[in-house]
Structure 1
Amino acid sequence: MDFILSNNKRQYIVGILSILIVSFACFVLRAHLNYRIVALILLLTVSIIAMVYDILPVLISAILSAFIWNYCFIPPIFTLDISNAEDLLMFLSYFFVALLNAVLNFKIRQIEKKARDKEEREKTIKLYSTLFNSLSHELKTPIATIIGTVDTLKAFNNSLNKEQQFDLLNDIDLASIRLNKQVENILNMSRLESGILCPKLDWCDLDELAYMIIQKMDTSHRHQIVYNSSDQLPLFKIDVGFMEQILFNILYNAIQYTPNETRINLNIEHHSNCCWIVISDNGPGIPEDELRFIFDKFYRISNSKSGGSGLGLSIVKGFTEALNGSIIAENNVEGGLKFTIKIPAETSYINKLKNE
């Protein structure tokens, strides 16, 4: 409420000051300006004010401009008298046009705002409809797997051998991981949209983090993840949770949307006070005209296989930007997709930290 009142007050002040400043400039140059030209200049000023401000400040500016034009420019000056009928008609026309201009500009802006609001509502409905349709499938599948497998174990537990029991428990484990990932994506997107993300910086061994994430990945589709580790890699002062989500989501995305036997390369390097992460694969890549959309919420590449909510890469971009970093995606010349992430971070080596 205080902001709204302050904003309205500012509109009144700026509107009135604009008219006064333009009027003063015209008065100083009155020897070179006909009072009819001054009317056009003041009317233009009112029009500009009407383009950005609310109706009441604009109406006051229009009335003030008409008063100043009459008092300071229409002969005889410094009086409100108008000596001839032509000037009186011009003044009345000016007054009417100034008020009409203010009202019409305000109405036009109202219509434009309603159109924008309608477009935003339609876009929001479409986005959430997409999210609902996608997640209803993504959540239902692992839940159904867990329920069905548990029912099987309960009903036939005595007749199942150890290997069959292990397979069923493994199905529950994979379905639980998939379900947990979808819930994490929803929660992370909520955090990003609410703007409450606050990185908690701490020293992180990205070598160790990379190996831990690779071990978590489901490579049952025979994907090969190759991490080129380096003994010279320093520790980075960074948010470990953010980095885990960034690496996991990109690797998971590569596994989900590339064919079996695809090779995925992960490289982490230190350049110019930045952590550089490059993840590439030798899959089919994506169409060039769709590259710019892959970080959009709920966006899924055309003709991609079913599954996925379209949130993973948008979360990667959000977490990267929360760390003041940048991410780009591009197709490799030899085929496949490559992500390059640059995150500014303080660095240190273990020996130095021990000495400190």
Structure 2
Amino acid sequence: MSALIYRKSNQYLISGLLIALATLTSQLSLKYIGYQGAALIYLLVVSISAMLFDILPVLLTALLSAILLNFFFISPLYTFKIVSTEDVLMFFMYLILALVNTVLTYKIRDYNSKRRDEAEKTKTINLYNILLNSLSHELRTPIATIIGSIDTIQDGNARISETHKQELYNEISIAGARLNRQVDNLLNMSRLEAGILKPSFDWCDVNESIFNVLQQNQEQATKHQLVFTPQKNLDLVWTDGGFLETILQNLVYNALQHTPEHTTVLIDVRLEGQLLEIRVSDNGIGFPKESIAFAFDKFYKLNNQATGGTGLGLSIAKGFTEALAGSISLENKKTGGALFTVKIPSKTVAIKDFEYE
């Protein structure tokens, strides 16, 4: 925890309550622990405060604990006098220990906090360097394709057949879709990091959502096979259809990008009670075992990855799944290939009963 969690006024209040609790505890057990035990209890309270609060509330706690130790526990009781030389030494030793403990604990906490901040800053810089390096490739390639195709079409000296011109238009379309996907991923990641994901729930036809995703990936799937057998009379699901399509889009696109040609990508959906389960699998080479635990991390990319990508797709799929209170997992199939399983809790209604809802 950090002092930032508590407002300054609350820090003083909590410190006062801790000191009061320590005083009451010591009073009730005084005949068993003596004033030396009370001093240790007060010292514990000072240490806890030093780990939680700013320096001024902690210093006040240390001074207040010394005063209360003298007043309630050092003879003569209920006065600020100290008669015995041994008790005087004990009192000042406690005060010095409490103050030193306060300063040292606070300094250690402050040092560790700065180290964590520096480590987080370095990690963030490294992550965004990875992102910028990825984007420099992911954006440059489709932009170059679009510019090159348009220059060729507009070149008055070039004699282009209608077939060739149509191919160039197709390349522009594919490159534009690729650019749009990268922009969508960046916007989605910004929404995840800002914590502003707010699902808009409505009745959703999961079969239709899957067909929409398959349609969006037709151009990418020319060398793969997308397989989905819709379930007849599948119940409608109360969820955010846009979120669901974003999850599936990233899983399907990831499979198309990172599996060999002629791989089959299979989508399977089932409803078990109030749980929607969607599986996206392939018969490719799967994931290295050591990479599975990091597959959903932001910007994570497999070593020596031949294809491009920013490493955002799977982390976005995970973030949107969790926004729907669901879970997503990855495993390698025994027969080869990867299997992603998305589970989202949701109420359902049969299509035939929908008009009565």
Normalising by structure 2, report the TM-score: 0.95
> Are the aligned partners of 2:82 and 2:88 in contact in 1 as well (CA < 8 Å)?
yes
**1:154-201: per-residue Cα shift (whole Å, max 9, x none)?**
115761111111111111111111111111111111111111111111
Q: Which amino acid aligns with 2:32?
A: H
Q: Which amino acid aligns with 1:68?
A: L
Query: What is aligned with 2:292?
Result: 291
Alpha-carbon offset, residue 219 of structure 1 = 4.4
User: SS of 2:188's equivalent?
Assistant: helix
Query: What is aligned with 1:171?
Result: 171
Q: Which amino acid aligns with 1:45?
A: V
Output the CA distance in 1 between the equivalents of 2:205 and 2:92: 77
Q: Which amino acid aligns with 2:347?
A: E
Query: What is aligned with 1:348?
Result: 349
CA RMSD of aligned residues (A): 1.7
Output the CA distance in 2 between the equivalents of 1:94 and 1:170: 81
Output the CA distance in 1 between the equivalents of 2:356 and 2:108: 68
Matched, 1:242 2:240: no
Alignment of 1:1-356 (within 5 A): 7-156=7-156, 159-217=159-217, 218-219=219-220, 221-356=222-357
Shift in CA distance, 12/338, structure 1 to aligned 2, threshold 3 Å: same
Q: 144-153 or 11-20, which moves further after superposition? A: 11-20
**1:235-278: per-residue Cα shift (whole Å, max 9, x none)?**
11221111111111111110100001111110111111121101
Output the CA distance in 1 between the equivalents of 2:244 and 2:54: 46
**1:289-329: per-residue Cα shift (whole Å, max 9, x none)?**
11011111110112221310101111111111111111001
> Are the aligned partners of 2:152 and 2:158 in contact in 1 as well (CA < 8 Å)?
no
User: SS of 1:31's equivalent?
Assistant: helix
Gaps of 5+ in 1: none
Output the CA distance in 1 between the equivalents of 2:314 and 2:5: 41
Output the CA distance in 1 between the equivalents of 2:69 and 2:206: 71
Alpha-carbon offset, residue 355 of structure 1 = 3.9
Identity among equivalent pairs (%): 46
**1:117-156: per-residue Cα shift (whole Å, max 9, x none)?**
1011001101110100000110011001100110011115
User: SS of 1:33's equivalent?
Assistant: helix
User: SS of 1:301's equivalent?
Assistant: coil
User: SS of 1:32's equivalent?
Assistant: helix
Gaps of 5+ in 2: none
Output the CA distance in 1 between the equivalents of 2:184 and 2:37: 65
Output the CA distance in 2 between the equivalents of 1:203 and 1:5: 40
> Are the aligned partners of 1:328 and 1:339 in contact in 2 as well (CA < 8 Å)?
yes
Runs of 4 or more above 3 Å deviation: 3-6
Output the CA distance in 1 between the equivalents of 2:74 and 2:221: 88
> Are the aligned partners of 1:221 and 1:260 in contact in 2 as well (CA < 8 Å)?
no
